[in-house]
Chains A and B, each alone.
Chain A
Amino acid sequence: MTNLTFYERTRDALEDPTVNQAIRVGARRFVSHRASTVSGLPEMDRLRDRARVIRAETLNKLDVFLAEFADNVELNGGRVFWAKNADEANDYVVKLAEARGVRHVVKSKSMVTEEIELNHALEVAGVRVVESDLGEFIAQLAGERPSHIIAPVLHKTRGEVGELFEKELNVAYTEEPIALNDIARSHLRDIFLSSDMGISGVNFGVAESGTLSLVTNEGNGRFCTTTPRIHVALMGMERLVPTFADLGTMLPVLEISATGQRLTVYNNLLTGPRRSGEPDGPEELHVVILDNGRSDTLASEVAEILYCIRCGACLNICPVYQSIGGHAYGSVYPGPLGSVLTPTLMGLEQWHELPHASTLCGACKEICPVRIDIPSLLLRLRDASSKANHSPVWIRTLMRIYSIVARHPKLFQLGMRFASVSSRLFAKEDWLNRLPPPFNGWTDHRNFRALAKKSFGQQWAERRSTEHTS
């Protein structure tokens, strides 16, 4: 994790025109793909309503569904490990790798493994980990973390990827997407075949059957989960659906919201390891179910964030995300969703800026496939953060004074009169081009309008008295 503060990371992101452009173009492309698909799907709203109900019902009885899911995974011949936190999850996977003599691990894209920094834990233990999702593969080569939960290298241009491949993989420079894809593909092929363990995330676990649903566009996920002799799947404990029928609602909602595709290319349903007589599939399946703060979140006033199905639509539509990209948030979960989830899972004290990194414009709520009221959750975290005194003293003082003054109309009017006179003293034709600290942020990017000579209240009173005298 970076040592820079949120403000430093933001500044760096805003000052990098390439990153800026790449993010904006990429995010908007997702938004327009989704919009054009949704425009041809009159039932989308109904699907979203249904998806929201499914999420609510699942979380209301999460303990029941988790038990059912785990029982079924084991009935199918899989192993379930309940991890309270990142360390427990990492320990389990590392010890498993050691016990089975695993030297090479191949991974498909999984945000939850980013959350617990599993790659790092494995590498410390001497296990080589290779990311097989094209975006994750690029990020890993560049030594970066993903900047988007669906498109890990949204912040990179094709040219940058070409340069990276040229340098790291000793190939000729190209920025043709298909050529770049072929380079990654031929590089990865041997790795798939020589890996002893495949690690994946889980899009949804189906409680009634213990099935793992995994969606990918590149087929690498299927390779990871079937070729190596051991498959380890990590899932956040909230990622369940009760039944296959529910999965039938959730998958299209997820896929359309994520990329605008009516159907993602590979929809995998994995129910247990290889059975006797089957020609392929892993010998062992381990499912690690991760809490890592989710139980506490479920009991909190922002529990609704656990409805999230990680489609990334709120990132794409967010004006703040479009400006600063994913890395500036400093967490594996960026954007509006991350601004709620990160402080909730990992501590408000360390992440108190994130709930403020929003204009509250509500575009995230509008686009969210399960209609999470993200602005309201951000506001609740802001309230919690102010109660814990995380915000600057000047804001606290300003709000307290403003609130007291606003309860005393005469004082309020007097205060406004004072503000009017003093602002007009420094104004040129009604505008100020400099405000004193701590308000100077405003005038760094726009001029400030001086207060009117006469307030509406004063003008109204004068109007009234003229009416009475005339």
Chain B
Amino acid sequence: MEHLDKLIDKEPVSFELGDGMRNCAQLMVTCLVDAIYPSVGISAVEVLEAQGITVEFPSDQTCCGQPAFNSGYWKDARAMARHTLDVFSVTNGPIVVPSGSCTDMIVHQYTELLKDDAEYLAKAQDVAGRTYEFTQFLVDKMGLDDVGARFRGRAAYHSSCHGLRGLNLREQPRVLLSHVEGLKQVELPCSEECCGFGGLFSVTMSSISGSILERKLDNLEESGADLLLGNDVSCLMHMAGGLKLRGTQIEVKHISEVLNTHD
């Protein structure tokens, strides 16, 4: 646990904002949470509010453009990136995203995508500099390790690839989960291996994707977990769909839902 303690250097909980506002964060909810898993967004908001953060939700937000970017439609992705930047560049304060891959898109790919567009490159740099994945925000930015959650279960945590390798989200979710009362974290064999989702890859090369998914679900079953957690609903939806087809009774939740449970 030494490395965990080292990680949390207890930054002050409050952070400075431009125009006199304090402790206010913007929520970029992501299109998948908005449409398929709204409860993840609600949980994220409630966890942040419980920490004294005022959450704002710019209602014109849509999709960060990652699906188009990853399938090679950069022109379309650029258009979506510009829209997202228009929505968030006029806001203040940190932008919190309950998804590692969408955060990585905004933080790392927008600048590549818009490198020839000076106006939007500047917006991209501003927005990238204050965008955080949900657990990254809680742990790295707010210096928290315990949000006072209670949840009974044996949880396996899946580190989604873009958050893991793009944002180095290794310990942050685990730190938070280690302080959840009643929650036992079990080792997921090959936990850093991809679940096979890969966006449109799961449709166009679905049998390869399915074969990777099978290995992931075998590992999950082997872990003895009754709960699968992660910080990207895309991968969670992929694995939940596989479990559903198998008929395996393992609950699937986004980490914010566990952190927002107190019973």
Contact = CB atoms under 8 A, between A and B. Distances in A.
B73 interface: yes
A389 to B, nearest CB: 11
24 contacts: A324-B211, A356-B205, A358-B198, A359-B196, A359-B198, A361-B161, A362-B161, A383-B73, A392-B204, A399-B67, A400-B76, A403-B77, A409-B61, A441-B207, A444-B207, A446-B210, A447-B241, A447-B242, A449-B36, A452-B39, A456-B33, A457-B57, A458-B38, A461-B59
Interface stretch (A197-205, A305-313, A412-420): A412-420
A347 B68 CA distance: 23
Contacts of B238: 446
B165 interface: yes
B72 interface: yes
Interface residues of A, number: 67
A319 B237 CA distance: 19
A400 B61 CA distance: 18
Counting chain A CB atoms within 10 Å of each CB, which of B33, B34, B68 scores highest? Answer: B34
B204 A395 contact: yes
Contact of A403 (B29, B36, B68, B209): B68
A359 B165 CA distance: 13
B36 A452 contact: yes
Contacts, number: 202
Given A356-B205, A363-B165, A403-B76, A431 B210 contact: no
B65 A406 contact: yes
Contacts of B74: 383, 386
Interface in B16-47: 29, 31, 33-39, 41-42
Nearest to B161: A361
A319, A386, A405, A454, most chain B CB atoms within 10 A: A319
A360 B205 contact: no
Interface in A419-470: 419-420, 431, 433, 438-439, 441-442, 444-452, 454-461
B71 A448 contact: no
A49 to B, nearest CB: 17
A110 interface: no
A382 B80 contact: no
A322 B209 CA distance: 11
Contact of A457 (B59, B65, B67): B59
B143 interface: no
B208 A420 contact: no
B161 A359 contact: yes
B32 to A, nearest CB: 10
Interface in B198-238: 198-213, 215, 237-238
A80 B202 CA distance: 48
Contacts of A379: 69-70, 72
A419 B38 contact: no
A324 B36 CA distance: 32
B73 A357 contact: no
Nearest to A381: B72
Contact of B72 (A386, A449, A450, A457): A386
Contact of B205 (A357, A402, A457): A357
A299 to B, nearest CB: 19
A17 to B, nearest CB: 11
Given A320-B208, A438-B203, A402 B34 contact: no
Given A362-B161, A455-B34, 19 more contacts: A14-B208, A357-B208, A359-B201, A360-B161, A363-B161, A395-B204, A399-B73, A402-B68, A403-B65, A403-B77, A403-B79, A419-B35, A445-B209, A445-B245, A446-B213, A446-B238, A446-B244, A456-B29, A456-B38
Nearest to B29: A456
